[in-house]
Amino acid sequence: MINRLKPNSKFTRNVLTLMTGTTIAQAIPIAISPILTRLYSPKDFGVWALYISILMIFGNLVAGKYELAILVPKHDVEAKNIVLLSLLFASIFSTILFILIFIFHSEILRILKNNDMSFWLYILPLNIFLVSAISILYFWNNRKKKYKLLAKNQILQSSSQGIVNLGIGFFSKINVGLIIGTLISNIMSFLFLLKHSKKDLVLNFSKFRLFYVMKKYKKFPLFMLPSGLLENISAQLPIFFLGSFFGSSIVGFYSLSQRIVRIPIMFIGSSIGNVFRQEASEHLNRYGNCEKVFINTFKKLFIISTLPFIVFYFIAPYLFEFVFGEKWRIAGEYAQILTPLFYLQFIVSPLSNMFMIAQKQQYDLIMQIYLIVSVTLSFIIGYKFFNDIKITLYIFTFVYSLKYIFEFILSYKFSKGR
| Residue partners of 23: CB distance under 8 A and separation at least 6 | 267
Residue 38's H or E segment, with its range, is helix 2-39
The pLDDT value recorded for residue 204 is 63
Average pLDDT over residues 64-89: 87
What's the CA gap between 368 and 353, in Å, rounded?
14
* Structure confidence by residue, pLDDT tens digits, 327-386: 889 989 999 999 999 999 999 988 988 887 887 878 888 888 898 899 899 999 988 888
DSSP string, 187-243: HHHHHHHHHHHTTTT-----HHHHHHHHHHTTHIIIIIHHHHHHHHHHHHHHHHHHH
The pLDDT value recorded for residue 191 is 94
Q: Cβ(231)–Cβ(171) under 8 Å?
A: no
The pLDDT value recorded for residue 309 is 92
The pLDDT value recorded for residue 418 is 57
Average pLDDT over residues 45-59: 85
The pLDDT value recorded for residue 288 is 84
Helices 2-39/248-261 angle, 10° precision: 150
What's the CA gap between 222 and 75, in Å, rounded?
23
Question: In this model, does residue 2 exceed pLDDT 50?
Answer: no
Average pLDDT over residues 214-221: 86
* Structure confidence by residue, pLDDT tens digits, 93-123: 999 999 999 999 989 888 887 777 888 899 9
Using pLDDT thresholds of 50, 70 and 90, give the confidence band for residue 7.
very low
The pLDDT value recorded for residue 4 is 39
What's the CA gap between 175 and 153, in Å, rounded?
27
Residue 226: name the closest of 65, 59, 96 by CA: 65
Q: Where are the domains of the chain?
A: 2-415
The pLDDT value recorded for residue 266 is 66
Question: In this model, does residue 395 exceed pLDDT 80?
Answer: yes
What's the CA gap between 308 and 387, in Å, rounded?
32
Q: Cβ(64)–Cβ(225) under 8 Å?
A: yes
Using pLDDT thresholds of 50, 70 and 90, give the confidence band for residue 6.
very low
What's the CA gap between 413 and 129, in Å, rounded?
35
Question: In this model, does residue 22 exceed pLDDT 70?
Answer: no
Of the two residues 338 and 3, the one the predictor is more confident about is 338
Of the two residues 179 and 115, the one the predictor is more confident about is 179
* Structure confidence by residue, pLDDT tens digits, 231-258: 777 777 888 888 778 777 788 888 888 8
Average pLDDT over residues 388-410: 93
The pLDDT value recorded for residue 173 is 65
How many angstroms from the chain centroid is the CA of residue 185? 16
Average pLDDT over residues 10-16: 67
Of the two residues 187 and 264, the one the predictor is more confident about is 187
| Residue partners of 414: CB distance under 8 A and separation at least 6 | 354, 355, 357, 358, 360
User: Looking at this protein, which amino acid is placed at residue 280?
Assistant: A
The pLDDT value recorded for residue 397 is 94
What's the CA gap between 68 and 82, in Å, rounded?
9
Ranked by mean pLDDT, which of 280-284, 309-313, 360-364 comes out on top?
Answer: 309-313
